[in-house]
């Protein structure tokens, strides 16, 4: 092989990458114009590089696509988890609400008679014969308040003689009947007022329950 060819071929890599000194760059350029063999080697070298870079591009592209898919999957998983939490949260709230909102509290006048109480109870059972009616006396009411409020001193002066708290019923039924019972007994003799959770929005109901406890 020609001595010059040998030198040029040693320099071809540098020439291709444009890292040679000006003199050497020029020398190779001139030689390639006249030497078919070296020119052929140079073309092969370039072609090889093109192949490699296009392969690399392809791999980069695949990596990018995979990254995108991973990102998308992660996002979907996160959305899925959030949705699941929201759904479970709502199921809990609504099932609690429907269980609790079937309750009705009926406060009674202090001078209520046994007869009036009997009337109220039979009216309730007329609407829902399975309703669970619990009666709480004025003493129960006072004691409940004493355990409920933090500053018990406030109630220390109160006893059965001057008890300001009314006796009441707690009626456990279902939402529909609770509403109906309320409508039917609100005007009966001896009923002071009623209080049912069914008029509240479920979320407000839960919040008020949490604050009350």
Q: Applying CB under 5 A, does 155 fall inside the site for Zn ion?
A: no
Closest distance to Zn ion from the beta carbon of 11 (Å): 11
Q: Applying CB under 5 A, does 27 fall inside the site for Zn ion?
A: no
* Residue 200 near residue 208, CB atoms below 8 Å: yes
- Given CA atoms 26, 28, 33, 35 in this order, what sign does their dihedral have? positive
Q: State which of residues 12, 28, 38, 106 lies at the interface with Zn ion (CB under 5 A).
A: 38
Comparison of 35 and 117: residue with beta carbon closer to Zn ion: 35
DSSP class per residue in 136-156: E-HHHHHHHHHHHSS-GGGGT
Residues in contact with 197: Cβ distance below 8 Å, sequence separation at least 6, in sequence order: 97, 100, 101, 103, 205
Comparison of 15 and 205: residue with beta carbon closer to Zn ion: 15
Q: Applying CB under 5 A, does 41 fall inside the site for Zn ion?
A: no
Distance, CA of 202 to CA of 89 (rounded, Å)? 12
Question: Reduced to 3 states, what is the DSSP secondary structure of residue 131?
Answer: coil
Comparison of 35 and 142: residue with beta carbon closer to Zn ion: 35
Interacting span for Zn ion (CB under 5 A) from 2-10, 103-111, 177-185, 188-196:
2-10
The bridge status of strand 168-172 relative to strand 132-136 is antiparallel
The helix/strand count (H/E) of the chain reads as 7, 4
Closest distance to Zn ion from the beta carbon of 54 (Å): 28
Comparison of 45 and 200: residue with beta carbon closer to Zn ion: 45
The bridge status of strand 132-136 relative to strand 103-108 is unpaired
Q: What letter does residue 197 receive in the DSSP assignment?
A: G
Interacting span for Zn ion (CB under 5 A) from 29-37, 108-116, 176-184, 198-206:
29-37
Closest distance to Zn ion from the beta carbon of 43 (Å): 13
Comparison of 13 and 135: residue with beta carbon closer to Zn ion: 13
Interacting span for Zn ion (CB under 5 A) from 33-41, 124-132, 145-153, 171-179:
33-41
List the structure tokens of 100. Answer: 């609790």
> How many Cβ atoms sit within 10 Å of the Cβ of residue 181?
26
Closest distance to Zn ion from the beta carbon of 6 (Å): 8
Pick out residues in 79-138 that bind Zn ion (CB under 5 A): none
Q: Applying CB under 5 A, does 197 fall inside the site for Zn ion?
A: no
Rule CB under 5 A: which residues touch Zn ion? Answer: 5, 35, 38
């Amino acid at each position: 092989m020609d001595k010059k060819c040998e030198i040029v071929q040693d320099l071809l890599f540098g020439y291709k990458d444009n890292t040679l000194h000006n003199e050497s760059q020029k020398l190779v350029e001139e030689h390639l114009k006249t030497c078919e063999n070296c020119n052929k080697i140079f073309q092969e070298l370039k072609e090889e590089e093109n192949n490699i870079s296009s392969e690399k591009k392809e791999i980069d592209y695949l990596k990018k696509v995979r990254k995108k898919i991973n990102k998308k999957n992660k996002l979907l998983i996160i959305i899925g988890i959030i949705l699941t939490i929201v759904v479970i949260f709502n199921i809990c709230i609504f099932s609690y609400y429907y269980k609790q909102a079937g309750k009705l509290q009926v406060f009674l006048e202090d001078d209520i008679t046994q007869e009036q109480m009997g009337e109220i109870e039979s009216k309730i059972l007329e609407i829902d014969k399975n309703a669970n009616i619990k009666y709480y006396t004025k003493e129960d009411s006072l004691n409940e308040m004493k355990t409920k409020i933090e500053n018990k001193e406030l109630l220390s002066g109160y006893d059965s003689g001057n008890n300001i708290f009314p006796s009441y019923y707690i009626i456990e039924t279902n939402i529909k009947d609770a509403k109906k019972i309320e409508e039917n007994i609100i005007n009966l003799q001896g009923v002071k007022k009623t209080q049912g959770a069914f008029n509240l929005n479920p979320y407000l109901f839960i919040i008020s329950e949490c604050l009350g406890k």
